[in-house]
């Protein structure tokens, strides 16, 4: 059925068509820790065409056997022991090859074209797991080498640029080679099962639609909190920071899915049209607004899990006088009919007390309070560490009197569907690329609309010397975080 549906779509090939997956940056963390384990799982479950080939590309000099050994070592570490089988790996490794080249050198793409040979009917997927400053050159070199034919697709990892201007330049360069239907801008958060269940929750259940609006919702919190520091990404992160690395893509994408209107149908263009409308409706945060509506922080030394961790400015490849933020909280408003007056609070940070990605919908209290007890009326959608949806309601305490307490209606997605293994987000998204389904990927205007809202905040921080506030590693963030909500009589969810 999927193959039949895909054949009806213009430019999309049925699943029986062979495919080459070429991974630029094939020796990097993303390829070894995420992409290859995801492709291994798809192979293990019979999701890949029997003639699909995987070619890793990087500057390092490796033989095919040496790269396969490197890939196996990382896959063994990433894949659950019960899911890794030596015979399955052996058959997967038959697909896997390596080609040493420099993505910045045009001549190397001529060598790559000879290696691949001519096969007019073969889909080629170019996955750019590289630094964004190589995106434009790679696209141009692919075109010059005759490798960007109508069957070719390109996958771009975030961030797409570091500003609106740079994002437009990258999109223009990519668009000069690949038409928009063949460009897949990936955000792995959109591949998470719970994120897609958010759409099912909203648009397949009559219970929520009447109350999913300003008249019934007090505010929304979207949190992506990490206990890890920058690890080995210091050189990249020190030039990006939490606003560019997380808010501009992951958190704004989650906001769009919470806030968007129901698309007229469930396909790529209809879904992305609605997301763009939300991004265009975001109220700008300009100039001195950054002082009232944003909190910027940077972690200092502290303890995580009982272990001492260094301050951000002592991390590897980070400047000792770095002014880069590792924490951001923002009060966002959507200027449209459904959400006027409802604040959305976004927060993300590294080296925090707990790892959690979640969306909290706080409904308004009942208009007249009859009973004693706390307040509930919350919907919590948790993306990690576990995937679950919890609706908190008020119920009577057993015994005499009408004393109420919050109780939870809890849907654990892993238990509900009795799955032995949950799909990783990259598995789902890679399969979508192979099948040509761009529903869960960002469109060009979507990326640029997000940057158009983010750029003035970055400029406001710079113009008004909004330096990051220090917070100890292992805490909940800067002290100023609480004031963002408390001044309006609200508080962050625990």
**β-pairing verdict for 183-186 and 152-157:** parallel
Tell me the C-alpha to C-alpha distance, in Å, between residue 117 and each of 100, 122, 363, 460. Answer: 17, 11, 59, 52
Q: Long-range contacts: 288-293, Cβ < 8 Å, 24+?
A: 288/460, 288/464, 289/460, 290/457, 290/460, 290/461, 290/464, 290/466, 291/464, 291/466, 292/331, 293/330, 293/331, 293/484
Report whether 350 belongs to an annotated binding site: yes
DSSP strands (E only) in 35-148:
53-58, 96-100, 123-128
Distance CA 197, CA 320 (A): 43
Annotated catalytic residue within 43, 62, 219, 250: 250
Report whether 354 belongs to an annotated binding site: no
Q: Long-range contacts: 343-346, Cβ < 8 Å, 24+?
A: 343/219, 343/220, 343/488, 344/219, 344/220, 344/221, 344/222, 344/255, 344/258, 344/259, 345/219, 345/220, 345/221, 345/222, 345/484, 345/485, 345/492, 346/222, 346/223, 346/247, 346/251, 346/252, 346/255
Nearest to 146 by CA among 166, 184, 105, 118: 118
Q: What angle do CA 444, 336, 197 make, to 5 degrees?
A: 65
Report whether 245 belongs to an annotated binding site: yes
Distance CA 52, CA 46 (A): 11
Distance CA 216, CA 189 (A): 27
Distance CA 114, CA 110 (A): 6
Q: Angle at which helices 135-144 and 106-116 pack, to 10 degrees?
A: 50
Contact 347, 354 (CB under 8 A): no
Report whether 269 belongs to an annotated binding site: no
Q: For residue 16, is the peptide bond before it cis, meaning its omega torsion is within 30 degrees of 0? A: no
Report whether 368 belongs to an annotated binding site: no
Q: Quick check: is 250 catalytic? A: yes
Report whether 72 belongs to an annotated binding site: no
Annotated binding site: 59, 158, 188, 192, 226, 245, 350, 355
Show binding-site residues for NADP(+): 59, 158
Q: Which residues are catalytic?
A: 250
Annotated binding site for substrate: 188, 192, 226, 245, 350, 355
């Amino acid at each position: 059925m999927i193959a039949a549906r895909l054949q009806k779509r213009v430019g999309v090939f049925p699943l029986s068509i062979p495919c080459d997956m070429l991974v630029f940056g094939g020796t990097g963390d993303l390829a070894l820790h995420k992409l290859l384990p995801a492709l291994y799982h798809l192979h293990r479950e019979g999701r890949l065409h029997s003639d699909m080939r995987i070619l890793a590309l990087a500057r390092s000099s490796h033989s095919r056997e040496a790269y396969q050994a490197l890939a196996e070592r990382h896959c063994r570490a990433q894949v659950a022991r019960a899911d890794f089988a030596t015979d399955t790996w052996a058959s997967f490794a038959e697909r896997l090859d390596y080609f040493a080249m420099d993505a910045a050198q045009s001549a190397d793409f001529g060598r790559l074209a000879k290696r691949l040979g001519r096969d007019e009917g073969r889909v080629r997927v170019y996955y750019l797991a590289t630094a964004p400053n190589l995106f434009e050159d790679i696209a141009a070199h692919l075109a010059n080498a005759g490798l960007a034919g109508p069957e070719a697709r390109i996958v771009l990892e975030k961030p797409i640029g570091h500003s609106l201007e740079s994002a437009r330049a990258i999109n223009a360069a990519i668009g000069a080679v690949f038409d928009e239907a063949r460009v897949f801008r990936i955000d792995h958060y959109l591949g998470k099962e719970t994120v897609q269940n958010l759409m099912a929750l909203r648009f397949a259940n009559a219970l929520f639609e009447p109350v999913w609006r300003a008249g019934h919702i007090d505010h929304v919190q979207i949190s992506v909190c990490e206990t890890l520091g920058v690890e080995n990404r210091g050189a990249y992160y020190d030039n990006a920071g939490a606003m560019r690395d997380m808010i501009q893509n992951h958190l704004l994408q989650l906001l769009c899915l919470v806030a968007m209107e129901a698309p007229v149908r469930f396909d790529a263009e209809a879904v992305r049209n609605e997301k763009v409308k939300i991004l265009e409706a975001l109220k700008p945060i300009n100039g001195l607004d950054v002082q009232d509506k944003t909190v910027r922080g940077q972690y200092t030394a502290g303890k995580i899990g009982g272990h001492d961790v260094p301050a951000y400015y002592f991390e590897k490849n980070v400047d000792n006088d770095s002014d880069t933020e590792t924490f951001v909280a923002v009060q966002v408003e959507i200027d449209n009919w459904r959400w006027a007056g409802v604040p959305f609070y976004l927060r993300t940070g590294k080296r925090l007390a707990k790892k959690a990605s979640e969306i909290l919908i706080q409904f308004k209290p009942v208009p007249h309070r009859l009973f004693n007890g706390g307040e509930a009326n919350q919907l919590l959608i948790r993306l990690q560490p576990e995937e679950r949806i919890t609706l908190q309601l008020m119920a009577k305490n057993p015994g005499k009197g009408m004393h109420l307490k919050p109780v939870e209606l809890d849907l654990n997605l892993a238990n509900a569907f009795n799955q032995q293994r949950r799909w990783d987000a990259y598995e789902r998204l890679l399969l979508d690329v192979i099948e040509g389904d761009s529903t869960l990927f960002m469109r060009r205007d979507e990326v640029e609309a997000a940057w158009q809202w983010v750029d003035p905040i970055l400029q406001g921080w710079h113009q008004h010397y909004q330096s990051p506030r220090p917070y100890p590693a292992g805490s909940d963030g800067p002290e100023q975080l609480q004031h963002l909500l408390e001044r309006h009589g609200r508080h962050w969810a625990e």
